Structures are given as structure tokens and as C-alpha cells.
Chain A
Amino acid sequence: MGAFLEFAFLQRALVAGILIAFSCAVLGVFLVLRRDAMIGHGLSHITFAGLALGLLVRRLPLAVAFVVAVFAAWLLVKLKSRAGLHGDTAVAVLSSGGLALGIVLASAARTYNAGLLSYLFGEILAISRFEVVLAAALAAGIAAVIFGLYHKLVFLTFDRESARAAGLPVERLDMAVTILAAVTIVLGMRVVGILLVSALIVVPAAAALQVASSFRKALCLAGTAGALSVVLGLLSAYVFDLPASGAIVLVGLVLFGGAAAARRRLR
């Protein structure tokens, strides 16, 4: 473990990974309970289109992906509320459109290479100092929004119809959560890649919900499970020479299995 922490790139990976996984997991609790778990999957596919566009125009692919993901989040909320599409249908429409567009743009940019693969499968060990700062800002932003809107978000998550009838600004709250999810996914993409980033949102949250007895405990447990996945995933990747992204998600799944078993015992 001591040797593991001697490397600066591993230190950066650990700090940024913990912050991003924590943010993903906390948002995941709201999304899973709203049965919007696939939103992360959909937004990650659209992020792929953004990346490909960035690679095509040769301008800061991460920044372009960020703009495209936020726009897609806005569009998703509008599609659900205005076009009357169910959540999963709206996600499927945008997700397939994003992936198709990404394939076409990546082909046009002739970027089916290691650069693109690093976004698909993640490259946590290549995280820069600037990305660590971004991850810290993201975690602080998410904590501020969730803390500030906590009671409204919990009411909306539990009973959407009553929250609307009580005069809560349902669409604006939806927009806040979905845009935060989009921003988180763009950063999470560096940790585990586009293909697995939705796991950072869903798996720790699903594990926490197996055993949590209150909403606050669910948020804390999910954040802890996300952070633990990164720590143990990176450690096992270091020790056993595994790809970090896969190891992180597999650790998360083991934690989920443990939580599900604990729930059965508690019954």
C-alpha cells in the first residue's frame, strides 16, 4: 500500500476517482429511486457523440463533450415533459441517436485509435492535476445543490405527482438533477470510460438501497460504496495488474452482492 501511494499519478487517480465516484453515487440514489437508472447510460452515449465531435473539429474533446452532454440533459427533460415520452423511451431515443452520431463523427474524424479507446474504457491513471481540481469542484457543487434542495428533491423522488400538486417546480428540479448527472458523467468517463460510467451511478446506489434505513443513510452509504470501489479497484488493479476501470466496477458489484446478502439476513 505504501509503494502504491508513492506514485503521483496514483495519488491523483485516487483523489479524483474518490470525488467523482462519490458524486456519481449520491446522484445515483435519486436516479435509481426515480426509476431513471438508465439516464446515466443514455447520457454517456451522447457524451460519446460530443467527444467524437471534439475530435473531428480538433478542439478540446472533453469541453465539447461537456457542452453536448449538458445540452442533451436539457433536451431529455424537455422530451419527457413536453413530448410526453416516458423516461426510458426518451433515454433510449437520445442514447441511440448519440451513439449513432458518435460512430459517424468518429469515422469522419478518422479517430478510431488509442485516443478514442481511452475515452471508451477510461484512463484514470492519466488524470491530470487540473482534472483533480475539476472533480473537487464537481463534488462541492453536487453537495451544495443536494444539501440546499434536499427536502424538495426527496419529496419529488418519493411522490412526483404530490410534489407537483404541492406547487414544487418539478421541471426545474428535474433539470438540476439531470444536468448534474451529465456533468458527472463527463468527468466519470475519465475514471471508468463511457462504457462503464453508468455503473458508477447505479451500482453503489443500488447497494446502499439494499440496507439503508433512511434517505440520509442511503446517500452516505452510496457515497462510501462509490469511494470504496475506487480505492479497492485501484489497489487490486495495482496488485494484480488489471485494467483499473473494470476492477473498480467489479468491486462495486461485489459490494452490491454483499449488501443484497446482508438485506436477506436482516429480514
Chain B
Amino acid sequence: MGSAAVDSALLVSVENVSFSYGRGLVLEDVTLPIFRGDFLAVLGPNGSGKTTLIKTILGVLKPSRGSVKIMGQPVSAFKAWERIGYVPQKATHFDPLFPASVREVVAMGLLASRRPFHRTTRDEAEEIARILALVGLDKEARSPVGRLSGGQQQRVFIARALLLAPHLLVLDEPTTGVDAGMEEQFYDLLSALNIGRGITIVLVTHDIGIANRHITKVACLGRKLVYHGTHEEFCRSAALRDMIAGGHHLISHRH
């Protein structure tokens, strides 16, 4: 494979990134390439810098040192944010009284990216209906979002991210508070998006547990990048053993 082909396959490039909150260094000299089609799990204990890393990728935080490029552009100059879908850690922590239906929440990102006074077109309405069917929420389209279960709410946020046809979907601990049955369905959906639609997925998690069957690559953080490679290599690596010895249970049950 030539270098041009490698470059076009490179979706996100994190190069020597360090970040500190005041004097506390949270990320140190992290270099992490993310390639198109990856289903990357970013693992690590609390405070290891997982959320900080994805916030630097999303341009929400500016690295103290190093650089981030998305699709070859420095993140500060990147404009096509509709190509990046994001499901935040606290996505389901909104006010339950928020007066919005599932359909309205799914349309939020799309409408906010349009010009003032934009009204949903017929094509957009059809696309919203299609995405809702994809995540299995077509029957709940008119339900108030605050009345759904945690698992259903997470699927609403994924639908919102998918509506803009992203190339990259970033999820920060998306199954927190979701029961095991829902979690399994949720990862099946992510896998279908990754394999069926070619969407690159970056999943931040404490516990690869159920996601283990679907991920293709692993980045293991402990302020520095401790490990980056394929999932198979990771299962045999010293990094995994070190983290388990440190009291962090990364359950691996590959089926």
C-alpha cells in the first residue's frame, strides 16, 4: 500500500498531544492514528484522559502541546463538523421536563446546522423517519424524549448523530446506566453501522465487556498511550494484564 493510500485511509491523526488542566497533566505525548472503518475502543481507568482525548479530537479542548488533524486538516481549521457524530457521556442527563419529542431531538443537530428560519424539508423529514426506523424508534417518534428508557434515549442520540451521515461517530461511555440486554442491542447496532455503512467508530469505555465482540482496535490510556493495536494483540498484551493487576476489570469474553 502506497503512502497516499495510507493517508486517504487516515481519518484522524493525533500527534504528540499533551493536555493539562492547570498543573495537572491529563494527557502526555499521545500519538494515535484513527483509520477509516476502525471500530476503536479507547480504554482506561477513571482519570486516564479518555474523555479529554476525544474532546481534543472534537476541537472542544485545545491541546497544550501537539496537534490533531481531521481528514488532513488541523482541527482548528476543520469546518465539516456535520461529518463527525458525537454522543456525549452525559447524553441522557438532560432535564426530563425538556419539552421535545424524539423526532425533534433527532432533528436538532441538522436544523442547527442550517440557516436561520429553516424549516424541515420533505427529504429531511423522510431521512429522519428512516434513521428512526434504523435505530428501532420509529414508533416512538412523537413520544416525549424524557419518557423513554435510558437505552432508548441513547439510541435517540445516536440517531441524531447519524442524521448528518457522519464519517466518524464518537461515543463517550454510551452505555452508562443502560441494562445488559439493551447494551447488547446497542452494540449490535454500532457494529451494523461500522460494517454495513462503513462508519468509523471511536468508543470510550471502562469495560469492553459486551463491546468486545465488535471492536477491531484498542487504544489503552493511562495519561500516556499504553497500548494501541488490534483487539487480538491487546488480549495477549502486557497492557491488559497491567490494567487488571491495577484493579481495573476489563472483562474480555470474545465469542
Contacts and interface: CB of A to CB of B under 8 A. Distances in A.
B99 A35 contact: no
SS class, residues of chain A in contact with chain B: helix
A214 interface: yes
A164 B94 contact: no
B95 A151 contact: no
Contact of B111 (A151, A164, A165, A214): A151
Interface stretch (B114-122, B195-203, B204-212, B240-248): B114-122
Given A159-B91, A162-B88, A168 B97 contact: no
Contact of B109 (A155, A209, A212, A218): A155
Nearest to A147: B117
Contacts, number: 81
B90 interface: yes
A209 B98 CA distance: 7
B101 interface: yes
Nearest to B100: A215
A90 to B, nearest CB: 18
Contact of A154 (B79, B108, B114): B108
A168 B112 contact: yes
Interface in A182-211: 209-210
A235 B140 CA distance: 44
B113 interface: yes
B94 A213 contact: no
B79 A33 contact: no
B79 A167 contact: yes
A165 B94 contact: no
A110 interface: no
Contacts of A154: 100, 108, 112
A210 B144 CA distance: 13
Contacts of A162: 86-88, 91, 109, 157, 160
Given A148-B116, A155-B109, A215-B104, A166 B97 contact: no
A161 B90 contact: yes
Interface residues of B, number: 34
A260 B98 CA distance: 15
Contacts of B157: 159, 162
Contact of A35 (B84, B95, B117): B95
Contacts of A155: 108-109, 111-112
B159 interface: no
B108 A158 contact: yes
B88 A151 contact: no
A35 B95 CA distance: 9
Given A149-B116, A215-B104, A166 B144 contact: no
A166 B109 contact: yes
Contact of B112 (A147, A166, A213): A166
Contacts of B59: 165, 167
A148 B91 CA distance: 26
B68 interface: no
Given A166-B81, A213-B144, A148 B117 contact: yes
A25 B111 CA distance: 24
B38 to A, nearest CB: 19
A217 interface: yes
B82 interface: yes
B156 to A, nearest CB: 11
Given A148-B116, A151-B108, A167 B100 contact: no
B112 A152 contact: yes
14 contacts: A147-B117, A148-B116, A149-B116, A150-B116, A154-B108, A155-B108, A158-B100, A158-B105, A159-B91, A164-B60, A165-B88, A215-B99, A215-B104, A218-B99
Given A154-B108, A213-B144, A218-B99, 5 more contacts: A35-B95, A148-B116, A151-B114, A167-B59, A213-B99
Q: Which 8 residue pairs are nearest across A and B when measured between Cβ atoms?
A: A167-B81, A151-B111, A155-B112, A165-B86, A212-B99, A161-B88, A165-B58, A148-B116
